Structure 1
Amino acid sequence: MTADYEKELKSINYELRNIEIELKKLTERKEELKKRKDFLADNLLLKRSKEAGEDCKWESNDFPWYSKIITILNDIFKLSSFRPNQLSAINSTLSKQDLILIMPTGGGKSLCYQLPALIDRGNNSRYTLVISPMLSLMEDQVMQLQSLSVKAEMFNTNTSTQDASRIQQMMIDTEEKLKLLYVTPEKLAKSKRFMSKLQKSYSLGLLSRIAVDEVHCCSQWGHDFRTDYQFLSVLKGMFPDVPVIGLTATATTKVILDVQKMLLIQGCLIFKSSFNRPNLFYEVRQKPSVQKECLEQLEDLLKHKFKDMSGIIYTSSIKDCEDLRLELRNRGCRVNGYHAQLEPELRSKIHKKWLSGEYQAVVATIAFGLGIDKSNVRFVIHHSLSKSTENFYQESGRAGRDNKQADCILFYRYSDIFKLSAMVFTQKTGLRNLYSIVEYCINPVDCRRKIIASHFDETWESTDCNKMCDHCKEPYETQNVDITEYCHSLYKILEHAHSNDIKLTAQMLINVWFGKSSKIKSKIVKLPSCSNEMAGNVIAYLLINDYLQEDFHFTPYSTISYLKKGSKSTFLNNNGHKIMMTVKGKKQMTNSASNIKNKPDRKRSNLDNSPKTSKKHRIITIDSESE
């Protein structure tokens, strides 16, 4: 009997194990199918949204309000015609349709909610609620609207108690002629009194539509996610028949889907204009390692190339903003700073002086941003990297809104990567977004517009650029160079540092690689046959392609980015695996880097410009024992 029990127990255990294995397989398959189902459903909705947005009926002049639209366009906004997708967006929001409008910076998004707000439909006191994250944008638009005799107000953290009471009374006064009310998402989320007035306003039939500017901020997959934007998910439930219009200059497919779900407007109309601003010239310049040289270049640009022209210079921090402002003013440049820590009155004063031309340029933090509408901005200079391709596209897009040629110059140096990565790594897509703009900078050959287009899921032919970027204007020959040996050397250094419980920043790694560090003493690696500048680009290339990875550590005063081997490091165990990097060559160069580096009398590539005095490979000996 005991033997029978043991036999049956063994059989049951065996069968249960098989069932567990099958259940695991089925569960995994179930998850795969659910993900695929969600993907197909989302993309089907997105496809239908885009197709509905492409319906030519929205461009029609058959709508009953068309004649009034044209009158307002001509008489109030002093415009003679619409830009692409403006009429479609206006017709659809007046038809009480929810929509998302993706239009490049300077493309005229604000008109798509400002003009409809002036159309009388029943009650003359109906107004449009505009939700915007940028105080400067609010101030700029309210000033412009008021100059056009349009009743517009703004409500934010800087609004006085007296003005707050006045504005909230206007929201529920049927005798008022309020047309546009600007509010920050933070104020919306935190002011119960404001929300109470908004609900009362809706019940009185005064809330005409809700415009959500910079709508990509709703999505955690976006480049500028803001927590308070999540509060906006309650609006559609509270005001179901109020049309929502979401506006942005930058949104990937994933972000659009996320925004639709969050705002409860799945399947809404989508109008998308081309990202391209044909009048903008894109250029990347190598940022000098010496601050004085960088200042000299900026001074030269302001006093010569951009003399008597208006522009913006973006920096990565408030400290950099203040330092750059002081240095340029000491050199006689008509500039001032603009950042979040300035008093509101001073910001407004600087803003107005820049608009009037008293200041040639505003030095601004990229984190704060300038949401202004100044048509004659002839240049936007990035003193350092933006946090993402989306940020760069929006910031550079502040130039040339009058459709005349303007310059967008980005100063790139690899060390700026690690200043910014320590600021963004806690965000869901912070590092991925940062690395996208690094890729834009170190790409030595592709049309700048083509790189931007690819990021926004658009196709672009370099021939369509019309030589309006540095690569298309003056193309260089390029080479595919094998940097596998360099990667092996870096890994040897990192492995030895790890074995000695030493962490290396990017600059420390380069110093050890070039034999300039006395801190680490172990292995033997060859001195790289390239400049310090190109070594930084090699590290950046390995970083954005996952051969290297950042490792962040907190100190009481800052966050430090160290480097370690990345997820693709295992690939190098395969002897046949090579890491190829495209580098810019000389105009007439035909030789590979491997041939050139052994012949110092011939032209060399950017990846092989070590001092000509050394004909042999120097060896970095990093310990007392040789291999």
Structure 2
Amino acid sequence: MAFFPEVKRKLRQIFNLTSFRPHQLEVISTTLSGEDAVVLMPTGGGKSLCYQLPAICDSGKTRGVTVVICPLLALMINQVEALKEKGVDVAFYNSEQDAKESDQVTRRLRSKGNRPRIFYITPEKLKHSSLVGRLLNEIRDDRELARFVIDEGHLVIKWGRDFREAYKYLECLRTDFPGIPIMALTATATQQVKEDLIRILKIRGCKVYWQSMNRPNLNYEVRPKKGVDREIVQFIRAHHAEETGIIYARSRQTCENVAKKLRESYGLKARHFHAKMQNVDKKDALAKWQSGQCKIIVATIAFGMGIDKPDVRYVIHHDLPNDLDGYYQETGRAGRDGKPADCILYYSWGDVNTRRRMIRDNTECDSREKEHQEQEILRVAQFCQNNVDCRRTQVLAYYNETFDPDLCENGCDNCRNPSGIEEEDVTDMAVKIIQLAEVLVDGGKFTITRNQLLEFLWGKSGASTRAIQMQSHELFGSGKNMPRDRTERIADRLESMGIFRIFSKQNGEWSAAYLEVRYLCDLFTLS
């Protein structure tokens, strides 16, 4: 690696570091060699260094401007200011700039041989600005386009399939700029998200770097949602008085109401934060929270993404997250300094039904997307209702990562309070579930999801031809007399034992997770 001496020198000079975290050097070497990469590192794992350090190096195969596609203005501003403090030449376009500031950025991007090292931009600006397209072509023609970086890469799928069409436009990067390396970074990605990301970006054959997503310093707990505001206040006062935290709420109105109540009724230093606030108010709330003048931010889900505040001691979910991926992302904003932090989720079945109604009433989603979103919220409900299995094991299984609950070390409520657990032989039901799965897939002729398998087991009849054909089968509804949470746990245990395997397959525009039967077992018990 001819570039290693420069990389090591600038690591120390610019970033004041003397060593790399796991996989950082491999990722940096990959992009400096002109190769594509997908990087999955847990929050706080050092993703930003993977592109910021090579951006200031001259010894790579491609060199010049590193274009970073960033989802949120607040995240962009945060990173730009941090880089400027380190003396890195960085520029960005944003909607708050006046004409003079924008013109200055444009002139810098046209200054051959003197362009900024890093250029931040939103996917919308990339898609809709003809000026940006011309500038990128000029930079490429001058052989000064080093790489494209997609920060928070999971949003290409998560937001691209939901409400930010510009993310799907990123497929143009490989088509319009062949030979320019692409790097996508994220703290979370299921197998199907990873496969969709690689397919959309057209970077098959890319290097994939993955770390365990376990955050051992985080404590996970689910609590019943009763008198939630009072419960939150009691928790903060008992465990984190005068410490920094985030409370996530579903709606903008809830954010404002909860923050106001915390201030006026309980005397806590709280501010709200959501997308419809005036920019000056958002900046003020963020600045006061980061400086410690405000201890609590009550926010919608986008807040905190990429914001480098290491001392967040708790993350509370006032309302249900959309899916387990969102839950992991949002809890991951706690304890980035490696010190203990608490993650509390308040749950009620009423919230689940509310979310399902919102999904079904959404006229902007097709039936396939609605089904996907409803399956995701039901998976969250199952996680909340499962008061036996290790929370870590459950969350990491969502990402196809096996985790030994003995390693949790009482880091979740289920591991700390195992009282009331009784051992039960569930062999008969396990065999029925396996047999039903074999019938449903019929030697690979059909595909089924985990939720579809369980619905057949419970005897739920759907509108599909397959459901109608199955209603007369002896196994249809064979699990309806057992509590649903128990059959869900048996199915998940079969997966963890390797009897079921989850695989991804493209279904229309996006991939979906399907279930495959691998082999049978003779006898086991579920505690």
If the TM-score is normalised by the length of the shorter chain, which range does it land in? 0.7 to 0.9
SS at match of 1:159: coil
Residue 94 of structure 1 corresponds to 32
Bigger Rg, which one = 1
Whether contact under 8 Å (2:356, 2:374) holds in the other structure is yes
Amino acid paired to 1:371? G
AA aligned to 1:455 is Y
1:432 is aligned to 375
Q: Quick check: 472-481 or 332-341, which moved more?
A: 472-481
SS in 2 for 1:459: coil
Give the superposition deviation at 1:345: 1.8
Match of 1:399 in 2: 334
Deviation at 1:439, TM superposition (A): 1.6
Residues 444, 481 of structure 1: CA spacing in aligned structure 2 closer, same or farther, 3 A cutoff?
Answer: farther
- Are positions 1:453 and 2:355 aligned together? no
The one-letter code matched in structure 2 to 1:112 is: C
2:240 aligned to which of 296, 306, 309: 306
Rounded Cα–Cα distance in structure 1 between residues aligned with 2:159 and 2:133: 27
The aligned residue for residue 477 of structure 1 is 420
User: Cα deviations across residues 89-129 of structure 1 (Å, max 9, x unaligned)?
Assistant: 11111111101001112211111111111112489982211
Amino acid at match of 1:286: P
Between 187-196 and 161-170, report the one with greater CA deviation.
161-170
The answer to whether the aligner puts 1:74 opposite 2:74 as a matched pair is no
CA contact (8 A) 1:284 1:470 kept: yes
Give the share of equivalent positions with the same residue, in percent: 36
Q: In 2, are the aligned partners of 1:223 and 1:388 still within 8 Å (CA)?
A: no
User: How many Å apart are 1:397 and its aligned residue?
Assistant: 0.3
| 1:169 pairs with one of 107, 111, 114 | 107
Q: Cα deviations across residues 503-526 of structure 1 (Å, max 9, x unaligned)?
A: xxxxxxxxxxxxxxxxxxxxxxxx
Q: Give yes or no for contact 1:223–1:390 (8 Å, CA) kept in 2.
A: no
For residue 174 of structure 1, report the CA deviation from its aligned partner.
2.2
Query: Any idea what SS the aligned residue of 2:119 has?
Result: strand
Contact 1:98 1:245 in 2 (8 A): yes
Distance 1:220 1:287, change over 3 A: closer
Match for residue 130 of structure 2 among 189, 192, 198: 192
Q: Which residue matches 1:366?
A: 301
How far apart, in 2, do the equivalents of 1:220 and 1:544 lie? 28
* 1:234-278 alpha-carbon deviations (Å, 9 max, x no partner): 111221121100111111222222111211111111001111111
TM-score for both structures, normalised by structure 2: 0.78
Distance 1:205 1:478, change over 3 A: same
State the alpha-carbon separation in 2 of the partners of residues 446 and 279 from structure 1: 19
| Mapped contact 1:218–1:225 kept (Cα < 8 A) | no
| 1:103 alignment partner in structure 2 | 41
Letter in 1 for 2:198: Q
Cα distance 1:143–1:575, how it changes in 2: closer, same or farther (>3 A)? closer
> What is the one-letter code of the residue matched to 1:358?
Q
Post-superposition Cα deviations, 1:134-183, rounded to whole Å, max 9, x if no partner, equal 22211111111111121222223333333222212211212535121111
SS in 1 for 2:15: coil
Deviation at 1:450, TM superposition (A): 0.6
Residue among 319, 335, 340 paired with 2:253: 319
* Residue identity opposite 2:300 in structure 1: T
Task: Confirm or deny: 8 A CA contact 1:546 1:568 kept in the other structure.
Answer: no
Q: Which amino acid aligns with 1:435?
A: L
Q: Residue 467 of structure 1: which of 389, 407, 410 is its match?
A: 410
C-alpha distance in structure 2 between counterparts of 1:143 and 1:475, whole Å = 47
Quote the Cα distance in structure 1 between the aligned partners of 2:388 and 2:235.
Answer: 25
Give the distance between the partners of 1:86 and 1:238, measured in 2 at CA. 28
User: How many residues are matched?
Assistant: 447
Match of 2:385 among 436, 439, 442: 442
State which of 123, 127, 137 in structure 1 corresponds to 2:75: 137
**CA 1:172–1:411 in structure 2 vs 1: closer, same or farther (change >3 Å)?**
same
Residues 543-600 of structure 1 show CA distances to partners (whole Å, capped at 9, x for unaligned) of: 898766999xxxxxxxxxxxxx99998889978654423779xxxxxxxxxxxxxxxx
**Aligned counterpart, 1:515:** none
Separation in 1, partners of 2:276, 2:142:
39
Does residue 482 of structure 2 align to residue 580 of structure 1? yes
Compared CA separation, residues 353 and 298, structure 1 to 2 (3 A) = same
**Could you say which residue in structure 1 is the equivalent of 2:231?**
297
Q: Which of 162, 169, 182 is 1:231 aligned to?
A: 169
1:342, distance to aligned residue in structure 2 (A): 0.7
CA distance in 2, matches of 1:329, 1:572: 59
Q: How far did residue 455 of structure 1 move?
A: 0.7
Q: Is the 8 A contact 2:460 2:477 kept in 1?
A: no
* SS of corresponding position for 2:208: strand
How far apart, in 2, do the equivalents of 1:402 and 1:308 lie? 17
Aligned partners of 2:32, 2:62: CA distance in 1, in Å?
15
**Gaps spanning 5+ residues in structure 1: where?**
1-62, 483-541, 552-564, 585-627
Letter in 1 for 2:241: K
Counterparts of residues 247-266 of structure 1 (less than 5 Å): 247-266=185-204
1:469, 1:568 → 2: CA distance?
40
**Could you tell which deviates more after superposition, 266-275 or 248-257?**
248-257
Match of 1:286 in 2: 224
Pair 107,567 (structure 1): closer, same or farther in 2 beyond 3 Å: farther
Task: Assess, with a 3 A threshold, how the Cα gap between structure 1 residues 117 and 543 changes in structure 2: closer, same or farther.
Answer: same
Distance 1:116 1:122, change over 3 A: closer
1:128 corresponds to which residue? 66
Aligned AA (1:313): I
SS of 1:363's equivalent in the other structure is: strand
> 1:574 and 1:118, CA in 2 relative to 1: closer, same or farther beyond 3 A?
closer
More moved, 85-94 vs 162-171: 162-171
Give the direction of change, closer, same or farther, for the CA distance of 1:575–1:244 in structure 2 (3 Å limit): closer
Partner of 1:539: none
- Equivalent residue number for residue 324 of structure 2: 389
Q: Which residue of 2 aligns with 1:243?
A: 181
CA distance in 2, matches of 1:375, 1:147: 18
Which stretch shifts more, 313-322 or 432-441?
Answer: 432-441
Q: How does 1:469-618 map to 2 (within 5 A)?
A: 469-478=412-421, 577-581=479-483
User: 1 CA distance for matches of 2:353 and 2:247?
Assistant: 20
Q: Which residue of 2 aligns with 1:151?
A: 89
Cα deviation 1:209-240 (Å, max 9, x = unaligned): 10011222223698867321111111112211
Measured after TM superposition, the shift of residue 459 of structure 1 is 1.0
Secondary structure of 2:77's counterpart equals: helix
